[in-house]
Amino acid sequence: MDKKGLIFDIQSFSVHDGPGCRTNVFFTGCPLKCRWCANPESWIKGKHIMFAGNMCKWDKGCRACEHVCSKEVIMFKEHEKPSIELNVCKECESFDCVNICPNNVFKQCVKDYTVDDIVKILRRDFNNWGPDGGVTFTGGEPLLHDEFLIEVLKKCRELQIHTAIETSAYAKEEVFLKVFEYIEFAFIDVKNMNREKHKEGTGVYNDLILSNIATLKKYKWGGRVVLRQPTIAGYNDSDENAYELIEFMNKNSLYEINLLKFHRLGETKWNQLGKEYEYHENGDVTQEKLEYLQQIYLNNNIACYVGDNTPF
């Protein structure tokens, strides 16, 4: 039986997720729960839905979904848009509401893909990539799907497709190293060097992440690794955090970091998932502060790229 991967999105023509033009494959499920996450729909590993209530045409008389749910979680009240029990929806297998709604109010976040399904898409996009492009596996956390991912990576190697990964590195060491045998380029997130602050912001300690990064360098992996930091005011934009990260990078022969500017592109998704987004008004880092931090890295012989201004 063909292995299947749980994917919540596939995007072609990406130019900021590795060398050249790329196709991004987004795996679902993530061991981290970052409080600023731009893809909160990726947290749940299984299939689930988002509810865009603002797109509902209930006020125009639409009731297409009213009786379609077998669990009866879609509720209409007079003069109010419908409400839904998203916690119950996690147990759904039919997603009849998604199929019947004419206004795309319900969105199924995750679909099954076989290895051949992924390869077919990559073959389709091949001519769009140019000489430096390829595929980037991201998420969520692609390492949660290691067996399926490795099968896809093996096919990529056969077809000479350049492979990249965006990962938290939060996985068992043997899983991490096995996947990286087939990876040529990696972005690895380091959210905060202080283990307590890391847990405060992401729900997990950073010990395993830092250990895997150090082990990768000792393993004599031949690819290129760029550390990434989504830079958030009041959380990881301090000089202290920068100098601790520089010390770690120097110790492990790492010389590239990409500072990402905080954004709120995921806020709507939080709302559609019934989650409270706490960064509605805070977290912003100025361009001046990013350039200040960049200079700290540059002064310590670390190549530091801000935002999309990268050499790849």
pLDDT averaged per 10 residues in sequence order, the chain, 312 residues: 87 95 97 96 87 91 91 86 84 87 91 96 95 96 97 98 98 98 98 98 98 93 96 98 98 97 94 93 96 98 96 87
Number of domains in the chain: 2
Indicate if 24 and 170 belong to the same structural domain: yes
Q: Domain limits at 58?
A: 49-107
Per-residue confidence (pLDDT) for residue 1, from 0 to 100: 53
CA distance 58 to 43: 30
Last residue of a domain, one of 107, 124, 154: 107
Please check whether residues 73 and 216 belong to one and the same domain. Answer: no
Please name the residues in contact with 262: beta carbons below 8 A apart, sequence gap of 6 or more. 36, 230, 231, 232, 233, 279, 283, 284, 285
CA dist 52 and 266 (Å) reads 13
**What was the pLDDT predicted at 70?**
86
Q: What is the per-residue pLDDT for 114?
A: 97
Whether 11 and 117 share a structural domain: yes
Q: Are residues 13 and 59 in the same domain?
A: no
- Structural domain includes residue 221: yes
163 shares its domain with 61: no
Q: Pick from 80, 107, 134: which residue ends a domain?
A: 107
CATH of the domain at 96: 3.30.70
237 within 8 A of 262, measured Cβ to Cβ: no
Residues 63, 142: one domain?
no
Q: In this structure, what CATH number is given to the domain that contains residue 149? A: 3.20.20.70
DSSP label at residue 114: E
85, 107, 129: which is the final residue of a domain?
107
Pairing of strands 80-84, 162-167: unpaired
Based on the domain organization, do 185 and 82 belong to the same domain?
A: no
pLDDT the model gives residue 87: 80
